[in-house]
Amino acid sequence: TTTIALDKNSGDLVWRSESLKDPASYLSPILIEKSGIRILVNITPRFIYGVDVSDGTILWKMNHREALGKKDPDDTGQILCVTPLYSGNRIYMTGGYNHGGLMIDIGDDGKSARTVWKDDVLDVHHGGVVLVDGYLYGANWINNGNGDWCCIDWNTGKKMWNKHWLNKGSVIYADGMLYIYEERTGNVGLLRPDPTKFDLVSSFKINGGSGPYWAHPVIHNGVLYIRHGEALFAYDIKEK
């Protein structure tokens, strides 16, 4: 099988999907609703697919590597860990390692999938991607230790800008601003979402913890939480 559903109270198997004959990836799936159907969208090293959560039927699947013109890996060991992003009928996926990005349309009934556009600019490694006012923001993969910050058009995939700021990293959006966290030296930036330029308002550096700065920032009740290895930092960002 590729996907299973369990009863959360008993652990009993509710259903199992057909097998796509592909291993699992590292990302978390998303749950969407289309035409009254609740659909679990997930990605394996070869496929992006949608599962009807009522019975486990795979409603659609697409070989994202074929769609991007990539050769299938011999060992299907590609690490894909960026959760897909959904808006309207469209789903955006990306994966780093020169995988590229793919926009697909699942149609009004949620039962089909077709390619809308593809890009090789916003090729996100593991820092996530956000959609703000029709534009996608994130950091791309140049290699495992380097990357740029990027903005592309949601509707067309057109590159708006590509800016090097320290290194690639993770991004979240809250209250009209982007919060970015680069992974090499632990700098946190407050970025105004602007499709015309990389508009950095301010930044500061995390001091403490160990290892790469890979954790995604979290905001809750006006507090920004940043983790670095075994250390957790909390910052009051509530408007006074």
10-residue stretch averages of pLDDT, the chain, 240 residues long: 96 97 92 95 95 97 92 69 95 93 95 96 95 97 94 98 96 96 96 98 95 95 96 91
pLDDT tens, position by position, 184-225: 999 999 999 999 999 999 999 999 999 999 999 999 999 999
**Structure-derived torsion over alpha carbons of residues 222, 227, 232, 238, reported in degrees to the nearest 10:** -10
C-alpha separations of 11 from 4, 7, 15, 38 in Å: 11, 5, 12, 21
**Counting every residue, how long is the chain?**
240
Find, among 149, 126, 151, the residue nearest to 215 by Cα.
126
The pLDDT assigned to 92 comes to 98
DSSP code at position 146: B
The pLDDT assigned to 73 comes to 62
pLDDT tens, position by position, 133-144: 999 999 999 999
Report the 10 Å Cβ neighbour count for 80.
23
The pLDDT assigned to 77 comes to 63
For the entire predicted model, the pTM comes to 0.93
The pLDDT assigned to 190 comes to 97
Sheet holding 187-192, edge to edge: 169-174, 177-182, 187-192, 199-205
